[in-house]
Amino acid sequence: MTEIEHCDTHLKSSIVRKRIICNDIESQKRRKLSQFLDNGTTNFFDDVMSNSIEKWMVLFLLPNNDDSEEIYKISLDILRDTIDCIETFTEFNRCTDFINSLNNTTIYLIISKEINEEESIILENCSSIFSIYLLNQNNLREQQWIKSCKKFKETYINIKAICDNIKQHIHLFRQNIVSINVTSQESTTKLDELDPSFMYSQLLKEILLEMPYDDNEKTNFVNFCSQKYTNNELQMKIVTEFDQQYDKTSPIWWYTRECFLYWMLNTALRTHDTDTILKMGFFLRDLHSQIELLYLQNKPYNSLVLFRGQGMSPVQFDKVNKTKGGLLSFNNFLSITTDRQVADLYADSARQNSNLIGVIFIVEIDPSVTTTSFAFVRDYSYYGNTEEELIMSMHSVFRIGEFEQIDDRLWQIKLKLTSDNDPLLKRLTEYIRHDIEGETPLYRMNNLMMIMGHYDKAEEIIRKLQSTISEKNGQLIAELNYQMGNVLLAKGELNNALDCLKKTLEFEQNIFLPNHPTLSYTYRSIGSVYDSMGDYKQSLIYYEKTLEIQENLLSWNPSELSDTYTHIGLLYEHMGEYSKAILYLEKNLENKIKILPDIHPVIATSYINIGSVYNSMGEYLKALSAYENALQIEEKSLLIDHPKLADTYNNIGSIHNQMGAYSTALSFFEKSIEIKKKSLSSIHPDLSATYSNIGLVYQSMGEYTKALSYYEKTLSIDQQSLAPEHPTVAVTYLNIGSVYTLMGEYSNAVKYYEKAIKIQEKSLSLDHPALATTYNNLGLIYNKMANYSTSLIYHEKALQIQLKLIPMNYSSLTITYNNLGHLNDTLGNYSQALSYYDKTLDMQQKSFPPDHPDFANTYNNIASTNNSLGEFDQALEYYKKALEIQEKLESPNPQFLADIYSNIGLVYQSLDEHLMALPYYEKTLELQQQCLSNEHPSLAITYNNIASVHNLIEEHSKSLAYYEKALEIQQKSLPSVHPDLATTYSNIGMVYQSIGEYHKALSYLEKALKIEHECLPPNHPSFNITHYNIAEAFEYLHRYEEAIEHAQLAVNIARQSFESDHNEVLENEALLHRIQQKLKESSSTDV
């Protein structure tokens, strides 16, 4: 009787980490600052380099002669106000090395020397090069390989023509990239549906224009520019001129000069680069003031019709087209002209670019109904008396009128400057002001930075304010500590946040009565910090203090009470008390829907929190629905790179991973990472959570090395940003341990699981569901290490916790039932194993769609147990069900597929259809070699199975070769008394028995039996097989008494494991009878 090892697949327990969602704009919901500062304030913004400024560069590849210097001088004179830098090269390789060293730079290359075909291809493939101009190179232009290069323009005979062409292109580009914000007509009834860029740009404009003047602002801005343009001689000269001459010229003169100031300002306004915008605040105010003054001095009495030509992307054009009747604003100081032909020229030039649509805006202005400032600037422009140009103050708002197509990809759109009484604009202005209420511009700016997710800038504002106030102003110090605490909480700097908030609380407890509303805000913020730190008991104490104050005040704001419900609901989720969590979170959602517009961002947060609890409960479809509701709101109400969008992408990705849609999950996690890298520090816990979730996806896909690398990134961040015993650190240890388990490195896995348990038993209650998960994981490892008694202890600990949970978490219970089923299968308790698998299947049917990958796990396990029971047809049916589900997945797990192929091969082999079994084992081996290390224990199992087929079809040398491969791996990767080693020794013994080498056979079989005695229970079915095989070996050696001893043991064990008419029992009894007969015959012969 040959024992064939198989690979059972069971559910792996894992944890998806979710961001703890706290109220990161708590500060704006508190109370207004009372009298802010009595004296003037200083500049609040240190120098920080901005990455969003476009760079333009002209490079020359010239011969080494006297003409080169003259060409350089002419170019410098023409382009000095348009580009960042001009560089000359005489050697091709130095030129290309320089180009490859640049980032975020558009290059115009001028060539005035011979190059060959290979060099032209290199230049054509340089992504930074926009255009290549040939100067006095008619012969080169005629080359066929030059004609096929799209970046090479026509040949010019003088440098001035090339420079004029470059200057015109850059001017057109800057004209076309002005961003546009729109909001629809429907926003009169659905205010939240306005474009978030529209809202934030209007707020920013209002606050900037109210900010106090500071004599140091210009100096700080000049220092910032000096750092930026240190290596740019052209622009540094203009920066120096700006520093020395700014007060002697006008802001309009500087704005109309195409130099660093114009580029920086418009890029910052377009990209919402608040850091640069705030540094340029003094210039924005000065420019606005000059436009306003000129408007008041020269206000026209009659209506005006003006024009602007530019390009728009098809997406942008379509967005404007869909909002006819709505509002539109340009994110800059808008330049328009009285000359229709100038606008036509710009629009027509724009549509020459196949990626743009040419647009002519026809702008109507009625000065009698609007006070929006605009001014004709011909007399004040840097370029003097050119066209009649008008500049409007930044973010002027227009009503969108009729569209008319003039030609292919050329349209005109009518705009009308809004009146002061425009109902939509009035409602929008009131609505968006409410979100940043506060008595001073700086206070409102801080709130705006928090809303926009610019936490570093919010912290910077508060720190500068703290440095300017008197130590005697205790109330203001407490207020700023409160604001700072909430900013640091949003940034994940929890210890510093707690320190700030406790300073505030100490002050407030000395001046307020115990039930004063102000204390409730501070209590709640402290509760949020403790929640984020994993100290749930302390968190609940502070939240209950908040609730007590709020519920005792009849006049309390229902929105504030809802926020407290949210905090308590999330806390109960973290504590594993899901029914309480849902109760509080649904109370919050119900209240928010009553008092807020339909798609307010706060309602999105409410959906996210409910989804988070359903995720923890294993109700993934409900969780996904809640997260998708949140995403629909956030995509309409937040900027595209807001950190909260990243959190929602992360949560949706987690659900798709749980549901087996791995590529979809990765796409959402990658969106999340992209945003978080822009807005958070490199050690922020939120970044760590997304790395962890990406690791989990790769783990689910069987890509263990990638999974481990992401988990190690997670651990590195956790260890720098969290306390050593924070529950999240335990989660990371668990995830690393789970990968080591799958890689077959069990001792490493145990090490990480034990680290996790040590943290969780200190930081969580003893019946917390997370502990159940960890006990499950550790039980699985001990099972793999053949320490079955310890494995059973941990699985039963997990089950005791899970059965106490109300409502029951079906997902977690299925994991435990599956693991107990697998353990009983390993121990030979087959009926008990099937009972647990049936419970698993019942739970899954309540939680998952019928094609969920977890069904494949359970079908696989049921099939395995049926195979052990000899119910081969039943086993084959369940294995094929598992295979069907796996093969339908968009990214099937290669290791699990390998397991199913292996198990199907096992059934065919049990049915004696050995040639049917072999292809399935070979498919198994092919998949395992793609995803496992060369020493993984699962490879040994497959080598064992292939070897057994070759043995049964009498290809004994091949069989021995595969068994020896298996044995080599197992001796390196498994404990010396592991049952898998016993199986391999037994199987090698059977090959030697097949070829008549009985003494060798017996030595291997006895090694197997020795191991089994040390690691298996006394009546395990494996003993039945080993004793049977040893009995046969002694029979062949004519040592009948020893043979009978082992045959009798085989019969005894089989009768305990199977029914009396089972094939195993009958076969063992037949062996015993045969040997007894031989002993009698031998004895009679001897007589």
* CATH number (domain holding residue 889): 1.25.40.10
- The number of angstroms, rounded, from the C-alpha of 530 to the middle of its chain's C-alpha atoms is 25
What confidence score (pLDDT) does residue 422 get?
58
Q: Residue 882 domain-assigned?
A: yes
Strands of 105-111's sheet in order across: 85-89, 55-61, 105-111, 129-135, 152-156
Distance separating alpha carbons of residues 359 and 344, to the nearest angstrom: 8
Q: How many residues does the structure list for the chain?
A: 1087
Pairing relationship of beta strands 334-337 and 389-392 according to DSSP bridges: antiparallel
Q: At a CB cut-off of 8 Å and minimum separation 6, what does 907 contact?
A: 863, 867, 872, 875, 876, 879
Residue 17 maps to a domain: no
User: How many structural domains is the chain composed of?
Assistant: 3
| DSSP class of 303 | -
Nearest-angstrom CA–CA distance, 479 and 491: 19
CATH number at residue 170: 3.40.50.2300
pLDDT reported for residue 25: 30
Each residue's pLDDT tens digit, 1005-1027? 999 999 988 877 777 778 889 99
Domain interval for residue 82: 55-175
Q: Report the range of poorest mean pLDDT among 630-639, 687-696, 719-728.
A: 719-728
The predicted pLDDT at position 558 comes to 76
* Residue 546 contacts residue 527 (beta carbons within 8 Å): yes
First vs last C-alpha separation in the chain = 33
Confidence of residue 63 (pLDDT cuts 50, 70, 90): confident
Structure tokens at 720: 């720098």
Residue 1, pLDDT above cutoff 70: no
| CB of 200 closer than 8 Å to CB of 269 | no
- Would you say residue 16 lies in a domain? no
Q: At 29, is the pLDDT very low, low, confident or very high (cuts 50, 70, 90)?
A: very low
pLDDT of residue 104: 66
Q: What is the CATH number of the domain that holds 271?
A: 3.90.176.10
* Cross-strand bridge partners of residue 152: 132
SS3 of residue 405 by DSSP: strand
Q: How confident is the model at residue 389 (pLDDT cuts 50, 70, 90)?
A: confident
Show the 3-state SS of 989-1056. HHHHHHCCCHHHHHHHHHHHHHHHHHHCCCCCHHHHHHHHHHHHHHHHCCCHHHHHHHHHHHHHHHHH
Q: What is the pLDDT of residues 115-157, one digit of tens each?
A: 888 888 888 888 778 888 888 766 665 666 666 677 777 677 7
Domain termination site, one of 882, 912, 928: 928
E strands within 397-440? 397-407, 410-417
Cβ(157)–Cβ(138) below 8 Å: no
Is it the case that residue 62 has pLDDT exceeding 90?
Answer: no
Distance of CA 102 to the CA centre of its chain: 29
144 and 201 fall within a common domain: no
Predicted confidence band of residue 36 (pLDDT cuts 50, 70, 90)? very low
Are residue 216 and residue 194 in the same domain, yes or no?
A: yes
Decide: 470 and 477 in contact? Cβ < 8 Å: no
Strand partners, 397: 329
Mean of pLDDT values over 1049-1068:
87
Q: Stretch 431-437: mean pLDDT, rounded? A: 62
Asked if residue 937 has a cis previous peptide bond (ω within 30° of 0), the answer is: no
> Residue range 624-642: average pLDDT?
86
Residue 425 pLDDT:
53
Mean pLDDT of the chain, nearest integer? 80
> Is residue 186 assigned to a domain?
yes
Confidence check: pLDDT of 570 > 60: yes
Q: Is the pLDDT of residue 811 over 80?
A: no
Q: What is the pLDDT of residue 28?
A: 29
Average pLDDT over residues 505-518: 90
Confidence of residue 1000 (pLDDT cuts 50, 70, 90): very high
Residue that terminates a domain, selected from 928, 943, 968: 928
Per the domain annotation, does 484 fall within a domain? no
> Would 188 be classed as within a structural domain?
yes
- How far is 654 from 696, CA to CA, in rounded Å? 9
What pLDDT does residue 24 have?
Answer: 32
CA distances from 459 to 43, 463, 779, 805 (A): 14, 6, 47, 42
User: At 439, is the pLDDT very low, low, confident or very high (cuts 50, 70, 90)?
Assistant: low
Query: How confident is the model over 309-327, as a mean pLDDT?
Result: 84
Based on the domain organization, do 159 and 218 belong to the same domain?
no
Considering all CA atoms of the chain, what is the largest pairwise distance in Å, rounded to the nearest integer?
A: 140
In this predicted structure, the answer to whether residue 547 has a pLDDT above a threshold of 70 is yes
CB burial of 799-820 (b: ≥16 within 10 Å; e: otherwise) equals bebbeebeebbbbbbbbbbbbb
Same domain? For 363 and 411 the reply is yes
Residue 515 is predicted with a pLDDT of: 87
pLDDT at residue 536, as a whole number:
82
- Of 404, 434, 464, which residue sits at a domain end? 434
Contact 418, 395 (CB under 8 A): no
Same domain? 347 vs 245: yes
Say yes or no: 221 and 114 in one domain: no
Phi-psi region of 325 (alpha: psi -120 to 50; beta: other; left: phi over 0): left
Based on the fold, state whether residues 190 and 117 are members of the same structural domain. Answer: no
Measured from the Cβ of residue 712, the count of other Cβ atoms closer than 10 Å reads: 14
* Selection from 6, 12, 5 nearest residue 779 by Cα: 12
What is the rounded distance in angstroms from the CA atom of residue 777 to the CA atom of residue 411? 64
Cα(1021)–Cα(1064) distance, integer angstroms: 10
Q: Are strands 105-111 and 55-61 parallel, antiparallel or unpaired?
A: parallel
Q: How large is the average pLDDT for residues 197-218?
A: 71
Whether residue 211 is found in the same domain as residue 163? no
Burial readout 1054-1066 (b: 16 or more C-beta within 10 A, e: otherwise): bbebbeeeeebbe
Assess whether 208 and 141 both reside in one domain: no
Q: Are 140 and 225 within one domain?
A: no
- Write the pLDDT tens digit of every residue in 105-119: 778 888 888 888 888
Confidence of residue 783 (pLDDT cuts 50, 70, 90): confident
CB distance 297 to 157 below 8 Å: no
- Lowest average pLDDT, out of 230-239, 580-589, 804-813, 863-872, goes to 804-813
| DSSP code, position 334 | E
Give the pLDDT confidence score for residue 307 in this predicted structure.
Answer: 93
Residues 214 and 286 in one domain: yes
Highest mean pLDDT among 192-196, 503-507, 829-833: 503-507
Question: Are residues 247 and 124 part of one domain?
Answer: no
Name the band, by pLDDT with cuts 50, 70 and 90, for residue 601. Answer: confident
Q: Is 798 among the domain residues?
A: no
Burial of residue 1022 (number of CB atoms within 10 Å: 0-12, 13-18, 19+) = buried
- Once rounded to an integer, what is the mean pLDDT over residues 587-605? 83
Alpha carbon separation from 54 to 30, 57, 261 (Å, rounded): 40, 10, 12
Residue type, 500: C
Answer whether residue 773 is part of any domain: no
Higher pLDDT, 502 or 451: 502
Higher pLDDT, 38 or 582: 582
Highest mean pLDDT among 436-440, 898-902, 1038-1042: 1038-1042
Q: Is the pLDDT of residue 490 over 60?
A: yes
What's the pLDDT band for 27 if we cut at 50, 70, 90?
very low
d(C-alpha 903, C-alpha 920), whole Å: 8
**Residues 460 and 448 sit within 8 Å (Cβ to Cβ):** no
Output the DSSP codes for 61-120.
E--SSTHHHHHHHHHHHHHTTT-SEEEEESSHHHHHHHHHT--SEEEEEEE-S---HHHH
Residue 891 has pLDDT above 50, yes or no: yes
